Amino acid sequence: MPRNSSKSKPASVSLAERISRLSRKRQEIIRPVQEHPRDYVLLSVRDVAAHLHTDPATVVRIVRGLGFTGYREFKRYLHEVSIAQATSLEEMQSAVATDSTPVGQVRKLLDLDLKNLQGLRNTLDARRVVALAKRLHSARRIVILGGDLARTLVLFLEYTLRVLGLPAISAVTPGETTHIARLIGKGDLVIAISFQRGLRQTVEGLRQARANGAYCVGITNTWVSPIARFSHECFLTAVEGSFTFSYAAPMALLNALLGACAGHRRQATLKLLKQVDEEQRHGYRWYRD
| pLDDT over 60 (residue 6) | no
| pLDDT over 50 (residue 53) | yes
Domain boundaries 15-85, CATH class: mainly alpha
pLDDT tens, 88-124?
A: 556 555 555 555 677 887 888 888 899 999 999 999 9
| pLDDT over 60 (residue 10) | no
Three-state SS annotation for the chain: CCCCCCCCCCCCCCHHHHHHCCCHHHHHHHHHHHHCHHHCCCCCHHHHHHHCCCCHHHHHHHHHHCCCCCHHHHHHHHHHHHHHHCCHHHHHHHHHHHCCCHHHHHHHHHHHHHHHHHHHHHHCCHHHHHHHHHHHHHCCEEEEECCHHHHHHHHHHHHHHHHCCCCEEEECCHHHHHHHHHHCCCCEEEEEECCCCCCHHHHHHHHHHHHCCCEEEEEECCCCCHHHHCCCEEEECCCCCCCCCCCHHHHHHHHHHHHHHHHHCHHHHHHHHHHHHHHHHHCCCCCCC
**What's the predicted TM-score (pTM) here?**
0.77
pLDDT tens, 113-167?
A: 999 999 999 999 999 999 999 999 999 999 999 999 999 999 999 999 999 999 9
CATH 3.40.50.10490 for domain 122-280, yes or no, is yes
pLDDT score, position 136:
98
Q: What mean pLDDT value characterizes the chain? A: 86
User: Between residues 243 and 27, which one has the greater pLDDT?
Assistant: 27
pLDDT score, position 39:
84
pLDDT tens, 236-257?
A: 999 987 667 889 999 999 999 9
Domain boundaries, the chain: 15-85, 122-280
